[in-house]
Amino acid sequence: MAIHYAHDSEHVVLITIDRPETRNAADMEHFKLLREAWDRFRDDDQAWVAIITGTGESFFSGADLKTYIPEITKLSKQITQGGATEINGYRLDDGSKAVLRNYELNKPVIAAVNGFCTAGGMEMLGGTDIRVACPEAKFAVMEPKRGLFAGGGTTVRLPRQISWPLAMEFLLCADLIPAQRAHEMGLLNAVVPREQLLDTAREFAQRIVVNAPLAVQATKQSALAGLYHDEDEIKTVRSAIKSIAATLEDDSEIKRILNQLAKNLRTAFENESKLANEIFATEDAKEGPKAFAEKRAPRWAAR
């Protein structure tokens, strides 16, 4: 098993991503295991704080594209054809839940970033609360360099968590950013020597667990509600519009307008998913990975 889960006697859980042979990228099985680790932490009343880290030179690099894309495509067809919500424990949303996107978790999570944090690593980092890194760690939202789109939450979370111009530097330049610069940008709480990384994360955890756990969880819940208030508000309005439209019998034009309004209303995360689907269908989305594999500069067509 490459997702390790260790619960100590002081209410702290350590989750370790251990696939150094893939730079800690996840196939379908390991996205499932990571989601299950978060579920286990969420549901255990004696687990108050989680630390997430990686092994080797990478923290987490998201999907193992060589295996994950064909796996999830096959699963999607099986679920669609069979009308099931999961098959053999695998779900279509394992990937998004694993990176804490649209995942309700009010318990604190500390990231101990031991190396490269790219793609799904950046997505998951946005779902953590306190972040420490070693000097060797590097951070990037590199999808635009490949003609792709970071559709796992980063384009929504990052501009709400650090200042707008610095978030745009991250997102639009798509550079690999060293840990010290990431700290200056407000992405990290601390940069410490590699040998002190987990000890520092545990020190933060100990500072949290001395507090009342329910008060801590309510505090995080309130903070998240303020940061992402539009998610619930839009869903509530959309639901109300659908309910009103369903009661109309005679005025088909008003009903059509209401249905269209409900369809157009999207939360920030839903809009991110829509844009991701559009970008992944472009010619540039095929050219970027191809150019990377062929070790040449991409020839963008802007279509």
What does the pLDDT look like over 187-212, one tens digit per residue?
A: 999 999 999 999 999 999 999 999 99
Residues 6+ apart with CB under 8 A from 225: 232
Confidence check: pLDDT of 76 > 90? no
Domain 3-212: homologous superfamily in CATH: 2-enoyl-CoA Hydratase; Chain A, domain 1 (3.90.226.10)
Catalytic residues: 123, 143
Checking if the pLDDT of 250 tops 70, the result is: no
Domain boundaries, the chain: 3-212, 216-293
Q: What's this model's pTM, rounded to 2 decimal places?
A: 0.86
The mean pLDDT value for 254-269 works out to 71
Q: At what angle do helices 154-161 and 268-280 cross, to 10 degrees?
A: 130
Cross-strand partners of 44: none
Query: Quick one: tokens of 276?
Result: 């991701």
Round to whole Å and give the CA distance between 246 and 190: 53
Contact between 224 and 109 (Cβ < 8 Å): no
Q: pLDDT for 131-168, tens place per residue? A: 999 999 999 998 888 888 888 889 999 999 999 999 99
